[in-house]
Structure 1
Amino acid sequence: MRFPVPLVPGRLVRRYKRFLADCLLDSGEEVTAHVANSGSMLGLATPGSRVYLSRSDNPKRKLAWSWQLIEVDVTLVGIDTGLSNRIVAEAIAEGRIPTLAGYETLRREVPYGARSRVDMLLEGAGRPPCYVEVKSVTLSRKVGMAEFPDAVTARGAKHLAELAAVVKAGARAVLVYLVQRGDCDRFELAADIDPAYAMAAGAARAAGVEMLVARTVITPEGIEIRPDF
């Protein structure tokens, strides 16, 4: 996935109200950017950090700027969770995730469960439908270790239960943990942050929900799933 416009570098001034960040561009201009990340962003909001923003010319947008990347110890981290589905969908369409290859159609945001929408539904003749949920992973508190979640997520636990239910009904369900940072080669659940989510994940796995961890290569030009993930 390539960014549609060149990213603009700057420094983070502060993140506040969850979805807002003040940034000082290298040009000297201070702007307020939208933060497409509902998590705590633990370890990813240190004032003065190098950041990369995108700018939209859409006049209907309240904020023209969006925060896309942050540099942490010379490693770029993708903080826009809204891009996760696009990154995974592109990789599936290009056949770069072997366990999710061979389906004829891919539909996005399909209703299922208790008033939920699954990120992707893969379908093909002669095989059960495959429900795919994507979680963006940005937390790392130990060298080389990516962790999820970075905050309590009742919604995430709900999704796990709904995926387990579709497996029971005869479908396939896959949860993709997309690691949006290049300095991690291992993954674990942050059970100390959200014990309920960790328990729900264990129950879902026991019920037959498949769990994949996809590593990425991140540059200011784009984010791609590694071929050796």
Structure 2
Amino acid sequence: MQFTKSLIKGKLIKRYKRFFVDVKINKEIVTAHCPNTGSMKGLLKEGNQVYLLKNDDPKRKLKYGLEIIKAQNNFVGINTHMANKIVNHGLCNNLIKELKNLKNIKSEVFFNKETRFDFLVEKNKQKIFIEVKNVTLFRDKSTAEFPDAVTSRGSKHLLTLIDAIKKGYKSYLIYLVQVQNMENFKIASDIDNEYYRNYTKAKKAGVNFLAYRCKITPEEIYIDKKLKIINE
């Protein structure tokens, strides 16, 4: 999956009000949109190399959007809106070995009045719900983690995936690791122990958990490797 335009390199100055980052491009300081509402723990060191996508929409106040941060020598894709696009590309191109040769890939499908999952697909006449979680946290050189802050919404999704199984669906949760060079994945139980307990409950109930790493460059981003989940 290629970026629609060439990304522009700069240096991070600061993030503020969740949706804004100041970036130095050459000698100019610009304010860019930050398409990530999470804590972005470990990524926001002043001076980190960043990559911005310029937009030409006259209706948008900010002319740049943040796409990649280079932290601890790893490219990290921070645009949470890209996660479903990357997974959709992976599903359509058989890059996720457990979910190859699917039929009827549908996005943003309601399971009930309160919850919709990222994908509803079909394989061998079995309907499958897929939820995607974007992962940007890493606290050592080889292990990505989720979540990076307490997430009641994430816990709700786990419990609803259990409900989907009870109603005859198969359930998958994909942790999309937008961090280079990771080999393992784990649930950050020290950050959100409630989420970890619900993860354990969902696993026992039959929810399938997968972690896949992305290949990331300033030109393209796509799924390239399955990671070992080391909580198990």
What is aligned with 1:190?
Answer: 188
Q: Does 1:2 align with 2:2?
A: yes
**Alpha-carbon shift at residue 113 of structure 1 (Å):** 3.2
Counterpart amino acid of residue 9 in structure 2 = P
Percentage identity across aligned positions?
41
The answer to whether the aligner puts 1:113 opposite 2:102 as a matched pair is no
User: Residue type matched to 1:117 in 2?
Assistant: R
Distance (whole Å) between structure 2 residues aligned to residue 171 and residue 143 of structure 1: 37
The 4+ residue runs of structure 1 with deviation greater than 2 A are none
**Amino acid aligned to 2:142:** G
TM-score (norm 1): 0.95
> Partners in 2 of 1:90 and 1:130 — Cα distance?
17
| Root-mean-square deviation over aligned CA pairs | 1.3
- Mark the runs of 5 or more structure 2 residues left unpaired by the alignment: 228-232
Structure 2 SS opposite 1:134: strand
1:136 aligns with 2:134: yes
* Mapped partners of 1:228, 1:49: distance in 2: 27
Partner of 2:230: none
Could you give the per-residue CA deviations for residues 23-68 of structure 1, whole angstroms, max 9, x where no partner exists? 1112x22111111111111110111110000011112223221100
Report the 3-state secondary structure (helix = DSSP H, G, I; strand = E; otherwise coil) of the residue aligned with 1:226: strand
Counterpart contact for 2:212–2:225, Cα < 8 Å: no
Q: Contact 1:56–1:64 (CA<8 Å) still a contact in 2?
A: yes
Q: Equivalent residue for 1:68?
A: 67
Q: Provide the C-alpha distance between the structure 2 equivalents of 1:41 and 1:130, rounded to a whole number of angstroms.
A: 30
| Equivalence map 1:196-215=2 (5 Å) | 196-215=194-213
Alignment of 1:47-66 (within 5 A): 47-66=46-65
Compute the displacement of 1:184 (Å): 1.3
TM superposition shift of 1:73: 2.3
C-alpha distance in structure 2 between counterparts of 1:58 and 1:162, whole Å? 38
Deviations 1:120-148 (A, max 9, x none): 11135x52211111111111112211100
| Contact 2:149/2:191 (8 A) holds in 1 | yes
> What displacement does 1:217 show?
1.0
Distance 1:132 1:118 in 2: 6
For the Cα contact (< 8 Å) 2:146–2:186, is it kept in 1?
yes
Q: How many residues align?
A: 227
Give TM-score, length-normalised by structure 2.
0.94
Q: Distance in 1 between matches of 2:212 and 2:122?
A: 21
The question of whether the paired residues in 1 share the 8 Å contact of 2:211 and 2:226 is answered with no
How far, CA to CA, are the matches of 2:187 and 2:76 in structure 1?
19
Structure 1 residue 97 and structure 2 residue 132: aligned? Answer: no
State the distance in 2 between where 1:109 and 1:9 align: 33
CA contact (8 A) 1:161 1:200 kept: yes
Q: Distance in 1 between matches of 2:226 and 2:40?
A: 26
